[in-house]
């Protein structure tokens, strides 16, 4: 059984009030793993608060002439357990390519930091019937360079991110099962596949109940602790045999 995982992607926002409280909704529970992804400047505060903490991106190289970047090795030394790889905002705004993202995931595995790899098609790609081709290319590039190392995937259709429009449960299950089918035997059943894109308490139950959905990557609603708390509670009740 895969334990549900809820990840808070705070993007370029400060941690919400109370994130470090004893009863913060951003702490892992018995039934749900919770990980926060703050900006680089807030990593230390989250680690000090004893939250499971990951970085929103990193550079695959160990060190060197990469102005503005931070290496996985540095993040590991700081105490980060996870790193997001290839969020669509990184792909769009910073031109991150499948190959760069795969190199980052491979480096993270080597360094003992868990990569959370984001994949997903744009609206045009879905409307022109290419959604599976795009996701296949993204997943296969990662799988080819990580040789059955431990992976977490987040399926985030770009058209669902920050738009208030979710993928339907049917679209979500179909794509999650497809992603799982692309994984090597050695990791297929144990790899968590999260859904991301406008998750709210209202839609969480229908999504988390799906066979191949193991939790969520939550953006906007993770900045509202009350909403986030409800999402974590719903995930806790959605454990599947």
Q: Does 225 help bind ligand PGA (rule: CB under 6 A)?
A: no
Catalytic residue among 121, 156, 176, 227: 156
Measured on CA atoms in the order 202, 2, 117, 121, is the torsion positive or negative?
Answer: negative
**Rg from Cα positions in the chain:** 16
Active site residue 156: yes
Active site residue 127: no
Sheet of 114-119: strand order equals 33-37, 5-9, 215-218, 193-196, 152-155, 114-119, 82-85, 54-55
Out of 156, 212, 214, 227, the only residue in the binding site for ligand PGA (CB under 6 A) is 156
Out of 38, 86, 197, 225, the only residue in the binding site for ligand PGA (CB under 6 A) is 197
Q: Which is nearer to ligand PGA, 55 or 73 (CB)?
A: 55
Q: Which is nearer to ligand PGA, 102 or 219 (CB)?
A: 219
Out of 14, 18, 112, 162, the only residue in the binding site for ligand PGA (CB under 6 A) is 162
Give the whole-angstrom CA distance, residue 204 versus residue 199.
Answer: 6
Q: Which is nearer to ligand PGA, 74 or 122 (CB)?
A: 122
Out of 103, 119, 143, 218, the only residue in the binding site for ligand PGA (CB under 6 A) is 218
Backbone angles phi, psi at 211, to 5 degrees: -55, -40
Task: Tell me how far, at minimum, the Cβ of 147 lies from ligand PGA, in Å.
Answer: 27
Give the whole-angstrom CA distance, residue 187 versus residue 148.
Answer: 6
Give the whole-angstrom CA distance, residue 159 versus residue 18.
Answer: 31
Q: Does 9 help bind ligand PGA (rule: CB under 6 A)?
A: yes
Would you please indicate which residues are annotated as catalytic (active-site) residues? Answer: 87, 156
């Amino acid at each position: 059984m895969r334990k549900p995982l809820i990840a808070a992607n705070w993007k370029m926002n400060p941690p919400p009030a109370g994130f470090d409280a004893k009863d913060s909704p951003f702490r892992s529970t018995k039934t749900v793993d919770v990980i926060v992804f703050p900006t680089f400047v807030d990593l230390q505060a989250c680690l000090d608060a004893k939250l499971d903490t990951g970085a929103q991106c990193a550079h695959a190289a160990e060190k060197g002439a990469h102005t503005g970047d931070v290496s996985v090795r540095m993040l590991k030394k700081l105490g980060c357990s996870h790193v997001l790889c290839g969020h669509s905002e990184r792909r769009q705004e910073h031109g991150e390519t499948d190959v760069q993202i795969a190199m980052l995931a491979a480096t993270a595995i080597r360094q003992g930091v868990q990569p959370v790899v984001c994949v997903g098609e744009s609206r045009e790609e879905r409307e022109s019937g290419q959604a599976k081709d795009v996701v296949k290319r993204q997943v296969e590039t990662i799988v080819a360079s990580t040789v059955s190392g431990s992976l977490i995937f987040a399926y985030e259709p770009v058209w669902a991110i920050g738009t208030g429009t979710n993928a339907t449960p049917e679209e979500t299950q179909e794509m999650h099962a497809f992603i799982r089918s692309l994984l090597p035997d050695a990791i297929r059943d144990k790899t968590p596949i999260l859904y991301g894109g406008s998750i709210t308490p209202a839609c969480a139950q229908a999504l988390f109940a799906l066979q191949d959905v193991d939790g969520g990557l939550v953006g906007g609603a993770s900045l509202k602790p009350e909403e986030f708390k409800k999402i974590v509670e719903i995930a806790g009740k959605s454990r599947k045999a």
